[in-house]
Structures are given as C-alpha cells and as structure tokens.
C-alpha cells in the first residue's frame, strides 16, 4: 500500500485503535505500507516505511519486486504525481454521484493530459459507479 502523508496520518491515528477481531483492522495494520512524505521524520505505524526522496526511483524498485499490486488509497496529491510521472498502470475509482461544490478534486491543477482506456465499469443500486481505467502511454 502506498500512501501520501495526510492519508497516512489519518489511517495511522485510526486503524491501530480498531479491535483486532475486525477483519479490516487486521488487513490495514498488518499490510506493508510505504509512506511518501518529505516532511515526516518517521512512520511508526506497524509495517510502515518512509519514502522521502526520489519517488520515481523508489516506486520503480518496488514495482520490480515479487508480490501483489501496489495500491494507493486516497492520497490525491500523490496520485496526481504518480499520473504525471507515468507510474500508474491502472486507476480504479469509486464515484459518488454527489455534487459538493467544494473540496479537493483529483485532477485539479494537473499540468498534464493523460488519455484513459476504460477497462471496466459497474454501477450499484446506491448510485456509486466503479471505473477501472488504464492510462495510455
């Protein structure tokens, strides 16, 4: 799991307090986490590792290792950086059909253009929409 600083801080404050018999708690607390931050000095949450410099180089090293996919949860600033650097192989989005009018937007301020190939779409009775996209290189 790859996390930006703000998402990491929120998760690290919450998940260790959730009882261990909660199935999501076990996953979140035991999963290996890489935290991208130039301002944190340490990442103390269990199985957390700090990436402070050269995100492109470090992520390329991680992508070469055996194992499962690298996932990013939240972390909009980090996702924009990954997209700009061409490091995203697949983007999975859950869209909630609510217009807020304020808040962070995933692609705000993006000084790049990336065409996405739609791999999968699903809609749910709640109105949520799942999109699985692949950036075209």
Separation between Cα atoms, residue 23 and residue 19, nearest integer Å = 9
Which tokens in the block code for residue 133?
């996209």
Residues 77-131: pLDDT tens digits?
888 888 888 888 898 988 888 777 777 666 666 666 678 899 999 999 999 999 9
Residues 1-41: pLDDT tens digits?
999 999 999 999 999 999 988 989 999 999 999 999 999 99
- Entry pTM: 0.81
Q: Which one of 3.40.430.10, 3.40.50.970, 3.40.630.30, 3.40.190.10 gives the CATH number of domain 2-135?
A: 3.40.430.10
Q: Please tell me what DSSP assigns to residue 21.
A: T
Q: Please tell me what DSSP assigns to residue 8.
A: H
Sequence-distant (≥ 6) Cβ neighbours of residue 28 within 8 angstroms: 11, 15, 18
């Amino acid at each position: 799991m790859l996390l930006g600083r703000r998402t990491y801080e929120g998760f690290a404050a919450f998940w260790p307090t959730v009882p261990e018999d909660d199935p999501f708690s076990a996953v979140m607390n035991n999963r290996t986490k890489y935290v991208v931050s130039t301002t944190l000095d340490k990442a103390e949450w269990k199985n957390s590792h700090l990436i402070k410099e050269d995100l492109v180089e470090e992520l390329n090293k991680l992508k070469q290792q055996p194992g499962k996919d690298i996932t990013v949860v939240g972390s909009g600033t980090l996702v924009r950086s990954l997209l700009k650097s061409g490091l995203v192989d697949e983007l999975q989005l859950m869209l909630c059909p609510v217009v807020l009018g304020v808040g962070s937007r995933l692609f705000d301020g993006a000084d790049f253009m990336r065409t996405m190939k739609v791999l999968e779409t699903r809609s749910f009775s709640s109105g949520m929409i799942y999109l699985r996209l692949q950036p075209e290189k």
